[in-house]
Structure 1
Amino acid sequence: MPLVSFSVVKQAGSCMSRSGIIAFGRLSTRSAVVWDTGRFRQWKWRDRSMESVMQRFVALNRTNFQFLGINAVVETRNCKPVVSLTTSNYAGAIPLFSPMSGKPAGDLVVGGSYGEKIDDLIPLLGDSLDKQCNDAMRLVNDTPVNAPIYVECCKYVDLYLEARRQHWHKFANVVKTQHHPSSATLWTEYALRTASDPLQKLVYKNKCNVLTTDHIEWRKLNYVLALALHELQSTQVPLSTRMIYAGRIHSLLITLRNSELVKTSILPVEARDPLPIKKLKQLGNYILNNKTQEKMAWRMDYAQFFERYVQYVLRDVVTRKGGVAVSNPHYDVSMRQRPQWGLACLEPDVVLQKGDVQWVIDAKYKSHLYNWYDSGEALKDAFRHDLHQVLAYCSFNPMIEKRAALIYPYSTFTVHCMKLYSSVTRASASVYLVGIPIDRSMIARIESHLAQLIDFSR
Structure 2
Amino acid sequence: MPARRGAQKPKARGELTRPPPLNARPLFRLVDHGDPIRIEPAAVGAAGDRWIDGFLQANQIQLRRLDLRTDVETRGGVRLLVHPGSHIGAVPLVSPATRRVAAGLLVEPRFRWSALGSVLQATGFAVEPRLGQAALVPGSAREVPPWLLAAPVLNRLEALLRYLRRGFVERTEVRTSPRGRIEWTQWAQRNLANGQWSRLPCSFPDLDDDPQLLSAIRWTLARLEQNLAQQRDSPPARALSARIRLLNHDLGPGPSQRPSPWNQPQTGSAWLTDALQAMGWIAEERGLGGARSLDGLAWDLEADQVWEAWVAAFVRDLAPQLGLTWVGASEVQHRLNWQGSLSSMGALIPDTGLRSAERMIWVDAKYKAHLALLARYGWSGLKDAVRDAHRADLHQALAYSALSSADQIDSVLAYPQLGDEHHFRATIATLTSGRRQVRLILAGLPFGFRSPSQRDLALSTWRKVLGRSEGGG
Structure 1 length normalisation: TM-score?
A: 0.62
Question: What's the % identity of the aligned pairs?
Answer: 18
What is the Cα deviation at residue 119 of structure 1? Answer: 4.1
Larger Rg: 1
Q: Distance in 2 between matches of 1:349 and 1:317?
A: 15
Counting only pairs closer than 5 Å after superposition, residues 270-289 of structure 1 correspond to structure 2 as 287=275
Report the aligned-residue RMSD: 5.0
Aligned partner of 2:74 among 73, 76, 82: 76
Contact 2:111 2:447 in 1 (8 A): no
Q: Distance in 1 between matches of 2:209 and 2:437?
A: 70
Q: Equivalent residue of 1:435, what SS?
A: strand
Counting only pairs closer than 5 Å after superposition, residues 40-439 of structure 1 correspond to structure 2 as 40=43, 61-71=59-69, 75-78=73-76, 80-96=77-93, 107-112=104-109, 117-126=115-124, 128-129=126-127, 131-139=129-137, 140-141=140-141, 142=144, 144-146=148-150, 176-178=183-185, 181-183=188-190, 187-190=194-197, 193=198, 205=200, 219-221=210-212, 265-266=251-252, 268-269=254-255, 287=275, 293=282, 295=288, 296-328=297-329, 329-337=332-340, 339-341=342-344, 343-372=345-374, 373-374=377-378, 375=380, 376=382, 377-411=384-418, 412=421, 413-422=423-432, 425=434, 427-439=436-448
Contact 2:360 2:408 in 1 (8 A): no
Distance 1:110 1:9, change over 3 A: closer
Q: Deviations over 1:245-274 (max 9, x none)?
A: xxxxxxxxxxxxxxxxxx97157336xx89
Q: Equivalent residue of 2:189, what SS?
A: coil
Q: Distance in 1 between matches of 2:57 and 2:340?
A: 47
Q: Which has the higher strand share?
A: 1
Q: Distance in 1 between matches of 2:214 and 2:206?
A: 13
Q: Deviations over 1:35-88 (max 9, x none)?
A: 358x94xx9x8xx8587999987676554323223345765332x443321333
Gaps of 5+ in 2: 1-10, 161-168, 175-181, 217-248, 266-271, 289-296
The equivalent residue for 1:240 is: none
Distance 1:22 1:181, change over 3 A: same
Q: Equivalent residue of 1:121, what SS?
A: helix
The equivalent residue for 1:259 is: none
The equivalent residue for 1:235 is: none
Q: How many residues align?
A: 370
Q: Equivalent residue of 2:123, what SS?
A: helix
Q: Deviations over 1:260-319 (max 9, x none)?
A: xxx97157336xx899699769xx9x959x976364422233333322221111111214
Q: Which has the higher helix share?
A: 2
Q: Distance in 2 between matches of 1:220 and 1:85?
A: 49
The equivalent residue for 1:242 is: none
Q: Which amino acid aligns with 2:33?
A: T
Q: Equivalent residue of 2:183, what SS?
A: strand
What is the Cα deviation at residue 94 of structure 1? Answer: 1.6
Distance 1:19 1:403, change over 3 A: same
**Residue 447 in structure 1 maps to residue 459 in structure 2:** yes
| Deviates further, 360-369 or 174-183 | 174-183
Q: Which amino acid aligns with 2:440?
A: V
What is the Cα deviation at residue 352 of structure 1? Answer: 0.6
Distance 1:276 1:99, change over 3 A: same
Contact 2:357 2:406 in 1 (8 A): no
Distance 1:344 1:22, change over 3 A: closer
Q: Distance in 1 between matches of 2:340 and 2:123?
A: 39
Structure 2 length normalisation: TM-score?
A: 0.60
Contact 1:72 1:85 in 2 (8 A): yes
What is the Cα deviation at residue 24 of structure 1? Answer: 2.9
What is the Cα deviation at residue 188 of structure 1? Answer: 4.6
Q: Distance in 1 between matches of 2:402 and 2:262?
A: 62
Q: Distance in 1 between matches of 2:52 and 2:69?
A: 14
Q: Distance in 2 between matches of 1:299 and 1:14?
A: 24
The equivalent residue for 2:30 is: 26
